[in-house]
Structure formats: structure tokens, C-alpha cells
Amino acid sequence: MNCTKCGKKEVMMERKHSGQRLCPECFISGIQKKVLKDIRKYGLIEKGDNVMVALSGGKDSVMLLDILSSLQNRGIIDLMAVTIDEGIQGYRQDGIKIAENHARRLGIEHRVVSFKEYFNISLDEIMALPFPRGACTYCGVFRRWLINRTAREMGATKIATGHNLDDETQSIMMNYLEGNIENLRRIGPRSHPKSDKFIVKIKPLGEIPEREVGLYVVAKGLEVHFAGCPYSQESFRAEIGEIIKNLSKNHPTIMYSTLRGFHKIKTALKKEDSRNFTMDNCIKCGEPSAQELCRACVFCEELEKKKTH
Amino acid sequence: MKFTLINNKKTEQLSFKNNLTIKELLDQIEKPLETVVIKKNGQIVLEDEIIQEGDTIEVIQIIYGG
Ligand code: SF4
Ligand SMILES: [Zn+2]
Ligand SMILES: [Zn+2]
């Protein structure tokens, strides 16, 4: 059975739900078209945007950079990248190297910024303190702060992240099951920040299954950091991910339908959003925050106390 | 039937029954298909591909837990 698009013999993937069987060329060009179509459909990028990719060197961000570079080549956007160095011994260094290689190859502006230089403590040092919170909690809060700050400094008008369909479906199910409607409302292909100091975030790969992201980077021979973070633990997200992946075996369209259904609910959720709180600036770091102190600064103070104990 | 397996950057020679498929191999080495991409002699292949004498099979893990 040959490629259902062009008839070539070298079939590399099969979409069981549609009966599609694709050769590498047809798979790669199909994915690129789908991502560019979603960018238009959801209005993620406008001509003249300065798009900063959050580039970890992992498969998702490398694929995202690869596809967005075609927009840069056509003169539609200006592309740049940032890599966050959380300070994870024996893990992050390889990803940074790979991110640097891609940025150099494409000739784009690239910054590596670390927890250590901005928060005066690395993730490894945090996790060595007594009774820390989960690593991913610090990591998420500090990373978001750093990416947004760097995006503003670099003059970015959009922050592009590599979240894929699996990530999005997990977020929907997680927040739904936890009854966290506030967070549910925020899920989607682009953010609508309440402060203009928050740069708009976009997720162009939100409708691409994780496995197809992996297939894409391997098929294109892109250099990618394939490794697991030593702190990734049994989280609720991981449990949900496991369930959805298992369900997908016999119900291959379940992630698409979850996302489609969510898009319909979201319209209603939006109308419900009556809260009209104002964003102020964090009194310590100046980043926008609904509270006096932003979460990053709350964590920094908490860590200072732990250090002196 | 002998072939070369590259798994997690480790290379080994394996000997198996004839007509072993990629899917059966993955079951043997306990790798869920959803988390890997398989190359046979440098080309990405499907799970029902049959491994032949002298083939080089590379297992690339693309999805990590957590
Ligand atoms: S797994 Fe957690 S600690 Fe590791 S990089 Fe991801 S968010 Fe950070
Ligand atoms: Zn084809
Ligand atoms: Zn702050």
C-alpha cells in the first residue's frame, strides 16, 4: 500500500481514522500547510510581527521554529528566539546547545537567559532547599516571567510556544476535572492579556498530535534534544496524559473532538467572564500582576526565607 | 534471522524468529509504539514492517513521561 497522496512506496506514517498513508515528503508538506492554515484561521500572526519562539531545543519548539522560518524567509515576520536555562545539571545544557545551533543556522537573534541571573537561584539549588514545592511549580512561574520579560526587551510582538494537541487536550481535561474554570477559559491558540506589558502568546502547533511532531522532526532530520527532565514527576497532568493516550488507541480522533468541543464551550465561557479586575504592576519587579506582588516575587521571597533557615 | 538494534544510542546484535514485525519487536523490548519513531535502514517505517536478515533498526524515543 503506497502513499495515498502521491503513490510513492516509502510510507512513513498512517492516520488510522482517515486511512491516510503518507510518504515523508507528503507528510512534511501536509503538516506545514496545516500549521500555516491554523495560523491564518486563528489570526495568530500578522504581517510585520516580531515573533519570539520559546526554544528549548525539544521537538515541539524545534518544529515550530522550522515552520515559522518559512514566514521569515518570505519577509512576513521577523523571527527571534529565547532559551530558558533553569539550571538543571546534566539535562538543560544539551538543549541549549541544540537551540543555539538552530538559531545560528537560521541567522536569527537568540538569547539564553537563566533563573540564576534573574532570580539568583538555579532550579537545582531550589530543589536542594528544605521542603520545596514541586519543581514544575517554580519552573512554570519563573519561566513565564522570564519569557515575557525577555520578549519585551527584544521587542517581540508575539511569543510562540510549541504546545501540541496532546498538551492542549490535557489542559482541557485537567482543568475541567479539577473544576478550574478560570484556567479553562484561558486555554486556546492565542492569549488575550489584560495588560499590554504581557506579550500575546500563540500556539501554532495546538492541533498537531505530539507523535506527529516527533515524526516531523525525525523525518526532516532536524537536530532535537530528546530527553526527559529529571524533575518530571508523577503529576496529575501526566496521569491525564496517560489516560488520553490510552483512549486514543481505540478512539484515534478523541483529542480532536475534545478540542473541537472545547472551542464551542469557550464562546459561552467568554460571555460568563464578568470579572473586571485591573492589572497593576508588581511593586517589586514591575511586571503586571493582580496582586501587590507577582507570583515570581512571592516565590523569591519564600525562597529567601528557606535559604536563611 | 539476525539484525542490528539501535535503542537509546546503544547498539546490539539480536537474533529472532523469521518474519518478526516492528510491532512484535517493540512488545519484546517494552516500548509503547506511541512514544517512538522507528527507522529501518535509515527510513521511517510503519509498525507492520517485517524485519529482515541484516537490517538495522533504530528506535528513537520521541515522547517522555511527565
Ligand atoms: S519537567 Fe518540570 S522542572 Fe522539568 S523543565 Fe519541565 S516544568 Fe521544569
Ligand atoms: Zn507521497
Ligand atoms: Zn514581581
Residues of chain B found within 8 Å of residue A233, distances taken between Cβ atoms: 66
pLDDT at residue A179, as a whole number = 94
Q: Which of A11, A12, A235 sits opposite B66 (nearest CB)?
A: A235
Determine whether the shortest distance from the Cβ of A255 to ligand 1 is under 6 A: no
Taking only Cα atoms into account, the Rg of chain A, rounded to an integer number of angstroms, comes to: 20
Nearest CA to ligand 1 atom 6: A136
Chain B residue with minimal CA distance to A58? B62
CA distance A103 to B13: 38
What are the DSSP calls for chain B, one per residue?
A: -EEEEEETTEEEEEE--TT-BHHHHHHHTT--GGGEEEEETTEE--TTPBP-TT-EEEEEE-----
Instruction: Please give the distance, rounded to the nearest whole angstrom, from the Cα atom of residue A65 to the centre of ligand 1.
Output: 21
Which member of B45, B46, B62 has the closest CB to residue A59?
A: B62
* A124-145 confidence digits (pLDDT tens): 999 999 999 999 999 999 999 9
**Residues of chain A contacting B35 with CB distance shorter than 8 Å:** 211
Q: Could you tell me where the beta strands, DSSP code E, fall in A95-136?
A: 109-114
Residue A91 Cα to chain centre, angstroms: 18
Backbone region of residue A115 per phi and psi (left: phi > 0; alpha: psi in -120 to 50; beta: other values): alpha
Q: What is the DSSP string of A36-82?
A: HHHHHHTT---TT-EEEEE--SSHHHHHHHHHHHHHHHTTS-EEEEE
pLDDT score recorded for residue A180? 93
Residues of B in contact with A25 (CB under 8 A): none
- Which of B23, B26, B27, B37 to mutate: most A Cβ within 10 Å? B37
**Low-confidence spans in chain B with pLDDT less than 50:** 66
Q: Is the CB of A127 under 6 A from ligand 1?
A: no
What domains can you pick out in chain B, each with its CATH number? 2-61 (3.10.20.30)
**Do A3 and A10 touch, CB atoms closer than 8 A?**
yes
Radius of gyration of chain B (CA): 11
Ligand 1 binding pocket includes A259 (Cβ within 6 Å) = no
* CA atoms in the 13 A half-sphere facing the CB of A113: 20
* Shortest-distance ligand to the CA of residue A5: 2
The identity of residue A15, as a single letter, is R
- The answer to whether the CB atoms of A233 and B34 lie below 8 A apart is no
From ligand 3's centre to the CA of A283, what distance in Å? 7
Among candidates A70, A66, A50, which has minimal Cα distance to A151?
A50
pLDDT value, residue A80? 98
**Residue A232 Cβ contacting ligand 1 at under 6 Å:** yes
Beta-bridge partner residues of A82? A54, A111
C-alpha to C-alpha distances, A266 to A160, A185, A260, A262, A273, nearest whole angstrom: 21, 7, 10, 6, 10
CATH 3.40.50.620 domain extents, chain A = 43-277
A233 Cα to the center of ligand 1, angstroms: 9
Is A21 in contact with A5 (CB distance < 8 Å)?
no
pLDDT per 10-residue tile (average), chain A, 309 residues: 95 93 98 98 98 98 98 98 97 97 98 97 96 93 98 98 97 95 92 95 98 97 94 86 92 95 88 70 95 96 89
| Residue of chain B whose alpha carbon sits nearest to that of A236 | B66
Asked if the Cβ–Cβ distance from B44 to A24 is below 8 Å, we say yes
C-beta atoms of B45 and A12 within 8 A:
yes
Distance CA A252, CA A247 (A): 8
Q: Which of A86, A114, A137, A236 to mutate to test the pocket of ligand 1 (most atoms within 8 A of CB)?
A: A86
- Which ipTM was obtained for this model? 0.94
Please write the tens of the pLDDT for every residue from A11-32.
999 998 899 999 999 999 999 9
Distance CA(A224)–CA(A218), nearest Å, equals 9
Nearest-CA residue for atom 3 of ligand 1: A136
Give the ligand whose atoms come closest to the C-alpha of residue A233.
1
* CATH superfamily for domain A43-277: HUPs (3.40.50.620)
Residue A239 has which C-alpha cell?
Answer: 496521569
Separation of A259 CA from ligand 3 center, angstroms?
33
Task: Give the nearest ligand 1 atom to A136 CA.
Answer: 2
Q: How far apart (Å, rounded) are the C-alpha atoms in residues A136 and A166?
A: 18
pLDDT at B66: 43
